[in-house]
């Protein structure tokens, strides 16, 4: 009896609480920056594609919905020739973002991707690549990598000595 009354009382009190239900789609939901929604490919601070086609996102993907092919430009800079995500399979787990060594692939707070036709959920690189650094500004992988791919020369990286003169015997 007492528990019954207590429940009724609690329900009565909830009438004066803040409402959680919102009138979507008229009213938009506020999402946190780290909310895991639509996947994008970002660019580095110099405007170049961040993705280097390392295949780690594809390997990490538990539903195998990412496929790509790496290629390289005349300077040896790697980039994806195509990059495809099948969002009809994606479970938005964010493992791809976690695996990405260059901050290229990122999940964004956007879930409004509904389609009538399932085929339209297959996103190609032109649908994924955005003109922004996304959540991680200031990082350019090729500046910290050891190889030279037209971004910096050998030994010009963040924490690198100038190239060794192999004809010298001086310590």
Partner 1 sequence: MVRIYIDQKPYDVKPGKNLLETCLTLGLDLPYFCWHPAMGSVGACRQCAVKVFKDENDKAGRLVMACMEGVRDNMYLSVNDTVAHDFRSQNIEWLMSNHPHDCAVCDEGGSCHLQDMTVMTGHAYRRFRFPKRTYQNQYLGPFLHHEMNRCIQCYRCVRFYKDYAGGKDLDVFAAHNHVYFGREKDGVLENEFSGNLAEVCPTGVFTDKTLREHYTRKWDMTMAPSVCQHCSLGCNIIAGERYGALRQITNRFNGAVNGYFICDRGRYGYEFVNDPDRVRQPVIHAEKEGRNLFESLSGILTEGKLIGIGSPRASLEANFALRRLVGEENFYQGIPENEAELLRKILAIQHSGHVHTPSLKETEYADVTLVLGEDPTNSAPRLALALRQAVRTKPLEDIAGSNIPLWNDAAIREMIQDEKGELFMAYPVNTKLDEIASGALHAAPEDIARFGFAIAHFIDGHAPVPEGMEPQTLESARRVADLLEKAERPLIVSGTTLFNGDIIQAAYQIGQALEKGERKAALCFVLPECNSAGLALMQAPSLAMAMKAAETGKFATAVVLENDLYRRAERSEVDRFFSTFENCIVLDHLENDTARRATVLIPTATFAEGEGTLVNNEERAQRFFQVFMPKNEHIRESWRWLDEFRQFRDGSRPDELRELDNLLEELVSAMPQFKGAEMAAPLSDFRINGQRIPREPHRFSGRTAMLANVAVSEPKPPEDTDSPLSFTMEGYRGLPPAPLTPFYWSPGWNSGQSMHKYQSEAGGSLRGGDPGVRLSGDGVHFSNGLQGTIPSAFKRQDNEMALVPLPHIFGSDELSVRSSSVEGRSPRAYIALSSLDAERLHAAEGSILQMRIGGQVFDLPVTLKNELPEGLAGLPYNLPSMSGITWPAKGVLTNTAL
Q: Which residues bind partner 1 (CB under 8 A)?
A: 52-56, 58-59, 61, 63-72, 78, 84-86, 88-89, 101-102, 118-119, 121-122, 124, 141, 144-147, 149, 154-155, 157, 159-164, 166-169, 171
Minimum separation from the CB atom of position 124 to partner 1 (A) = 7
Backbone angles phi, psi at 71, to 5 degrees: -145, 180
H or E stretch including 106? strand 105-107
CA distance 48 to 116: 34
Contact 150, 73 (CB under 8 A): yes
Give the span between the Cα atoms of 92 and 36, in whole angstroms. 6
Q: Three-class SS of residue 161?
A: coil
Q: Quote the least distance from Cβ 168 to partner 1, whole Å.
A: 7
At 68, give phi and psi (nearest 5°): -155, 170
Report the nearest approach of partner 1 to the CB of residue 118 (Å): 5
- Residue with Cβ nearer partner 1 (22 or 160): 160
What is the nearest approach in angstroms of partner 1 to the Cβ of residue 134? Answer: 17
């Amino acid at each position: 009896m007492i528990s019954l009354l207590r429940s009724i009382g609690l329900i009565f009190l909830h009438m004066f609480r803040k409402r959680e239900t919102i009138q979507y789609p008229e009213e938009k939901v506020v999402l946190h920056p780290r909310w895991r929604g639509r996947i994008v490919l970002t660019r580095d601070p110099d405007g170049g594609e961040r993705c280097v086609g390392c295949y780690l996102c594809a390997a990490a993907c538990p539903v195998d919905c990412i496929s790509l092919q790496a290629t390289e430009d005349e300077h040896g800079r790697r980039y994806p020739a195509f990059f495809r995500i099948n969002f009809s399979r994606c479970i938005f787990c964010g493992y791809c973002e976690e695996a990405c060594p260059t901050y290229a692939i990122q999940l964004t707070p956007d879930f409004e991707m509904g389609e009538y036709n399932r085929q339209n959920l297959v996103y190609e690189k032109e649908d994924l690549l955005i003109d922004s650094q996304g959540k991680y500004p200031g990082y350019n992988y090729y500046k910290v990598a050891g190889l030279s791919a037209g971004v910096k020369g050998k030994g010009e990286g963040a924490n690198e000595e100038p190239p060794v003169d192999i004809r010298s015997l001086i310590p």
